[in-house]
Amino acid sequence: MISKLYLIQRISILFVFVIGLIFFTGCGGSTEDDVTCTEATWYKDADGDGSGNMLESLVACEQPTGYVSNSNDKNDQDSSTIEEGTDDTGDTGDTGDTTDDNCVTSTADNDMAVLACKFYNDASLTVVVNDNTIKITSTSEPDHKSMYYATSNSLYQAYDNTANDPDFKKNPNTIGAMNYTFTIPRFPTSASNKKATGFGAMGVSLNSVVFYNQVAAPGDDILEELHTFDQYAGHPTNTGSYHYHIEPTWLTELKGSDTFLGFLLDGFPVYGPYENDVEITNDDLDDYHGHTGVTADFPAGIYHYHITTDFPWINGDGYYGTAGTVTQ
Ligand SMILES: [Zn+2]
Ligand SMILES: [Zn+2]
């Protein structure tokens, strides 16, 4: 009895060795359990971006958790390429976005990759974290209702604010799908030569809608334009680009008034109008509309912008850091 068991053990060890040999030599084969099983090589996808690491593989019939069939990822081991915006489920505009997939922990005090998972409107944006940049594509189509959606759109909702604002009026534009690509610094630092923000998108918010600065298009007056804002304080240009100049009330209602709401083009984060239950005013902020301090996401402290109730709302005299690029 003992010798038989010993023999079985020896045969098992031999079998494992043979399987290992088959795997090592790259030959296909089948396991002892199921002759119809087709083995394949699976590559470890440590950073969850759908691309595997060619240096870490195993052979199995079924796809193991955390492995993929390709070996395209050259950066897998350091998790430097992270895609967000493709695999959150059910989090378009809901409040239950607890998945927070692909958020990374980082040892760098100013690594904006820790915020990549906060962007949630997957239908309208993608976020990719690269070694030194964060790339965000955005259609700038809000996930909330708006009187500026075409009436055929399920997010169209009529709105009339004349009870509160006698000068309220809808502008003649309609929200369209934009094609923004932001490439912003992943590790932002203060610029020695501060540059002004330009007309057009100066940043992007959690739901893909872009931030505009406190200046209206040439020939228009921003204080007049305020009367055209919709039920969530945004409006579209005549090319269909929906944007926020002031607090995006949908996001502060959804995520909180003291939370991270998006990036400006220089990579520094934008937070809501509250901090530690106290409303931030312009007096608390520098000329660029930010300050350095601890936030929920950066316990070691970080420079960050705040949105305030009063003009200039999101940004002041320009970018605190060196702006990345935005194409449309
Ligand atoms: Zn505007
Ligand atoms: Zn602050």
Which ligand number lies closest to the CA of residue 273? 2
Phi, psi at 32, each rounded to 5°: -70, -25
Q: Residue 24 pLDDT more than 90?
A: no
Task: Report CA(302)–ligand 1 centroid distance (Å).
Answer: 29
Sheet-wide strand order for 180-185: 82-84, 125-129, 133-138, 180-185, 325-327
Domain ranges of the chain: 2-28+38-77, 80-328
Q: Give the per-residue pLDDT at 6.
A: 59
Q: Give the per-residue pLDDT at 62.
A: 87
Q: Residue 55 pLDDT more than 80?
A: no
Task: Report CA(263)–ligand 1 centroid distance (Å).
Answer: 18
Judged by DSSP in three states, 234 sits in: strand
Quick: pLDDT tens for 250-259.
Answer: 999 999 999 9
Task: Report CA(141)–ligand 1 centroid distance (Å).
Answer: 14
Beta-carbon count within 10 A of 119 CB: 26
Beta-bridge partner residues of 83: 128
Q: Give the per-residue pLDDT at 4.
A: 60
Task: Report CA(11)–ligand 1 centroid distance (Å).
Answer: 75
Task: Report CA(236)–ligand 2 centroid distance (Å).
Answer: 29
Contact 211, 204 (CB under 8 A): yes
Quick: pLDDT tens for 299-322.
Answer: 999 999 999 999 999 999 999 999
Which ligand number lies closest to the CA of residue 211? 1
Task: Report CA(139)–ligand 2 centroid distance (Å).
Answer: 28
Task: Report CA(284)–ligand 2 centroid distance (Å).
Answer: 8
pTM score of the predicted model: 0.72
What's the token pair of residue 159? 């709105």
Question: End-to-end CA distance of the chain, in Å?
Answer: 76
What's the token pair of residue 42? 């699976």
The three-state (H, E, C) secondary structure of 238-307, written as one string: CCCCEEECCCCHHHHHHHCCCCEEEEECCCCEEECCEECCEECCHHHCCCCCEEEECCCCCCCCEEEEEC
Which carries the bigger pLDDT value, residue 208 or residue 98?
A: 208
Residue-averaged pLDDT of the chain: 84
Which ligand number lies closest to the CA of residue 293? 2
Q: Give the per-residue pLDDT at 22.
A: 46
Task: Report CA(110)–ligand 2 centroid distance (Å).
Answer: 15
Report which DSSP code applies to 209.
P
Q: Give the per-residue pLDDT at 23.
A: 47
Task: Report CA(62)–ligand 2 centroid distance (Å).
Answer: 49
Q: Distance (Å, rounded) from C-alpha 301 to C-alpha 110?
A: 8
**Torsion sign (Cα): 255, 257, 260, 262:** positive
Task: Report CA(15)–ligand 1 centroid distance (Å).
Answer: 70
The three-state (H, E, C) secondary structure of 142-193, written as one string: CCCCECCCCCCCCCECCCCCCCCCCCCCCCCCCCCCCCEEEEEECCCCECCC
Question: What's the pLDDT band for 242 if we cut at 50, 70, 90?
Answer: very high
Least confident of 32-41, 108-117, 209-218, 291-300: 32-41
Beta-carbon count within 10 A of 154 CB: 7
Beta-carbon count within 10 A of 303 CB: 21
Report which DSSP code applies to 75.
S
- What mean pLDDT is predicted for residues 160-178? 97
Which carries the bigger pLDDT value, residue 59 or residue 271?
A: 271
Task: Report CA(315)–ligand 2 centroid distance (Å).
Answer: 13
Least confident of 51-65, 99-113, 155-169: 99-113
Q: Distance (Å, rounded) from C-alpha 131 to C-alpha 270?
A: 22
Report the chain's C-alpha Rg in angstroms.
26
Task: Report CA(23)–ligand 2 centroid distance (Å).
Answer: 55
Task: Report CA(301)–ligand 2 centroid distance (Å).
Answer: 9
Q: Give the per-residue pLDDT at 69.
A: 87
Exposure string (b/e) for 237-250, b if CB count within 10 Å is 16 or more? beebbbbbbbbbbb
Q: Give the per-residue pLDDT at 98.
A: 38
Least confident of 95-99, 127-131, 137-141, 265-269: 95-99
Which ligand number lies closest to the CA of residue 234? 1
Beta-bridge partner residues of 136: 127, 182
Q: Distance (Å, rounded) from C-alpha 71 to C-alpha 311?
A: 51
Within 13 Å, how many C-alpha atoms sit on residue 219's CB side?
0
Task: Report CA(236)–ligand 1 centroid distance (Å).
Answer: 7
Length of the chain: 328
**Torsion sign (Cα): 115, 271, 159, 225:** negative
Q: Distance (Å, rounded) from C-alpha 169 to C-alpha 159?
A: 10
Which ligand number lies closest to the CA of residue 229? 1
Which ligand number lies closest to the CA of residue 227? 1
Task: Report CA(257)–ligand 2 centroid distance (Å).
Answer: 12
Which residues are placed with Cβ below 5 angstroms of ligand 2, an ion? 275, 293
Which ligand number lies closest to the CA of residue 301? 2
Which carries the bigger pLDDT value, residue 46 or residue 281?
A: 281
